[in-house]
């Protein structure tokens, strides 16, 4: 939900749009990519939708606020989460990679994060620290706007207990 608009997405590239206070305003849109839409984030100029499968490929779709197609990019990994911070910095987490853009998705930079299927990302304002988690239980932190990452917890250690981490969020002084 953003600016009173509701946007939902899921299987086969289907997206649903409408106004929160007007249930009769909902309509469906079909993406030309028949993929599982994994995550959506909107900024002032439109939105970013990520989709993909099999851990080996993915897509970044750039759309207008009501779902109209603008352009797309391909990825060499399966993306899981797209997140927007400060209305300009966009991060995409996924299988073995985290990429970021500081120009609304026109250009992407690969960070040095590796070693897990990264499922989420958050920013902890009190410590100016980025946090990400992975499906094998890794937790990584970055203190330089997400370019360089270090392990807070390495989920790939052979004797370490495995946790299937899917979400991470910063609330107040804590990261959960």
Summarize pLDDT for 27-36 with one digit per residue, the tens. 777 776 667 7
Residue 123's SS3 state is: strand
* Residue 122, CB-side half-sphere exposure with 13 Å CA sphere: 18
Q: What's the confidence (pLDDT) of residue 67?
A: 67
Write down how long the chain is: 176
Q: What's the confidence (pLDDT) of residue 23?
A: 76
Residue with tokens 């994060």: 113
Alpha carbon distance 37, 6 (integer Å): 16
Q: What's the confidence (pLDDT) of residue 77?
A: 95
Q: What's the confidence (pLDDT) of residue 75?
A: 94
Q: What's the confidence (pLDDT) of residue 2?
A: 63
CB 77 within 8 A of CB 93: no
Alpha carbon distance 30, 41 (integer Å): 17
Q: What's the confidence (pLDDT) of residue 38?
A: 86
CB 51 within 8 A of CB 58: yes
Helix H segments across the chain?
A: none
DSSP 68: -
Can you list the residues of the chain whose pLDDT is less than 50? none
């Amino acid at each position: 939900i953003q600016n009173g608009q509701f946007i939902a997405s899921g299987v086969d590239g289907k997206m649903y749009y409408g106004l929160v206070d007007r249930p009769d305003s909902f309509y469906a849109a079909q993406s030309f990519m028949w993929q599982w839409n994994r995550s959506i984030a909107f900024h002032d100029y439109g939105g970013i939708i990520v989709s993909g499968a099999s851990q080996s490929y993915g897509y970044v779709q750039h759309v207008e606020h009501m779902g109209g197609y603008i352009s797309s990019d391909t990825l060499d990994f399966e993306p899981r989460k797209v997140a927007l911070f400060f209305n300009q910095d966009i991060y995409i987490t996924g299988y073995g990679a985290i990429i970021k853009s500081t120009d609304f998705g026109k250009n992407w930079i690969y960070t040095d994060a590796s070693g897990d299927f990264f499922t989420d990302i958050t920013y902890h304002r009190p410590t100016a620290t980025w946090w990400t988690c992975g499906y094998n239980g890794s937790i990584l932190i970055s203190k330089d706007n997400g370019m360089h990452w270090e392990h807070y917890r390495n989920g790939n250690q052979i004797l370490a207990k495995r946790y299937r981490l899917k979400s991470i969020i910063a609330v107040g002084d804590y990261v959960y």
